[in-house]
Amino acid sequence: MLKLLLDSILDFIFIYECEICHRHLEDKKTIICLDCLHKIEKVEPIDMKQSFELKFGNHGYITKAFSCFHFKEEGIVQMLIHELKYQNKRTIGILLGEIVGNAIKHDVDFTSADALLPVPLHKIRLRERGYNQSELIAKGISKVTGVKVINDMLIRKKNTQTQTKLNFEQRLENVKDAFVLNEKYKDFVVGKRFAIVDDVITTGSTLNECAKELIRSGASQVLALSVAVAS
Ligand SMILES: [Zn+2]
């Protein structure tokens, strides 16, 4: 009962108008309007290059990456991702995915990928949350680019603890060998190019582990797409 009441209060706050410009929103599940989203914390290409070299440069599994926004503590993007992951605001995932899709729709490296692969959740986490936020983001990207989403190619075999409180080394260890290729794709994967999709890139360790498994299985190239990147 209390939860219902809380939900309707939250709805009253979040539905109908943009949190920033207070414009009327058609979609009651979004929090801010597209115009405002486009104004916030965009990642400049030069920042992105430096940031990705740091995260992916030495491993060689991910050859190209793109993120739309800077992930800052207490920032709007963090708020949106939080709503997406923990408040069942699934539409936010699609919306953020569409923004990523629009940003890369002329980049043939991404649009000619054979498939978008959302970073998988462990089956226990998936059952708790009811949906994979990265899959929703991938669906949004797919809507714009037409690249298909395959959500069961990678399987998360380790139910890793949440990374939020871990340092760089702990994160590496936490996700090490956490992903395995779904057997049914062992022929399909060979020679293909994939773009892995995640909500936020922090150290890059999760994406590196996904890419490592794909390359080890015969994929020719792995790219990465995310809504936000932490510097
Ligand atoms: Zn707005």
pLDDT in tens, 188-198: 999 999 999 99
Q: What is the mean pLDDT of the chain?
A: 86
CA–centroid distance, 89 to ligand 1, in Å, is 17
Q: Which fold has domain 42-229?
A: Rossmann fold (3.40.50)
Model pLDDT, residue 32: 77
Confidence of residue 139 (pLDDT cuts 50, 70, 90): very high
Say how many Å lie between the CA of residue 35 and the centre of ligand 1. Answer: 6
Query: Residue 21's pLDDT band (boundaries 50, 70, 90)?
Result: confident
More confident position, 81 or 184: 184
- C-alpha of residue 39 to centroid of ligand 1, in Å: 9
Q: What angle do CA 54, 60, 62 make, to 5 degrees?
A: 80
pLDDT at 218 over 90: yes
The mean pLDDT value for 39-44 works out to 75
Ligand 1 centroid–CA 18 distance in Å is 5
The rounded Å distance from CA 11 to ligand 1 centre is 17
- Cα–Cα distance measured from residue 99 to residue 141, given in angstroms and rounded to the nearest whole number: 8
The CA distance from 197 to 32, in Å, is 22
Measured distance CA(111)–CA(100) in Å, rounded:
12
Cβ neighbours for 78, distance < 8 A, ≥ 6 positions apart = 71, 72, 228
Say how many Å lie between the CA of residue 111 and the centre of ligand 1. 29
Least Cα distance to 33 among 104, 92, 75, 105 occurs for 92
pLDDT of 228: 93
CA-closest candidate to residue 229, choices 64, 99, 56, 51:
51
Q: Is the pLDDT of residue 206 over 80?
A: yes
Q: Where are the alpha helices (DSSP H) in the chain?
A: 2-14, 34-39, 45-56, 76-86, 90-104, 108-111, 123-129, 133-145, 168-175, 205-216
Where are the chain's structural domains?
1-39, 42-229
Measured between alpha carbons, how far is 127 from 98 in angstroms, rounded to an integer?
Answer: 25
Alpha-helical regions (H) of 87-200 = 90-104, 108-111, 123-129, 133-145, 168-175
Q: What is the mean pLDDT of residues 200-212?
A: 92
7 CA to middle of ligand 1, Å? 22
Least confident of 54-63, 142-151, 188-197: 54-63
Residue 40 CA to ligand 1 center (angstroms) comes to: 11
Whether the pLDDT of residue 11 is over 60: the answer is: no
pLDDT of residue 5: 66
pLDDT digits (tens, 9 = 90+) for 102-117: 999 999 999 999 999 9
Distance 115 CA to ligand 1 centre (A): 32
**Cα–ligand 1 centroid distance for 17 (angstroms):** 8
Who has greater pLDDT, 54 or 62? 62
Report the alpha-carbon distance of residue 40 to residue 77 in Å, rounded: 8
Ligand 1 center–CA 110 separation, angstroms = 29
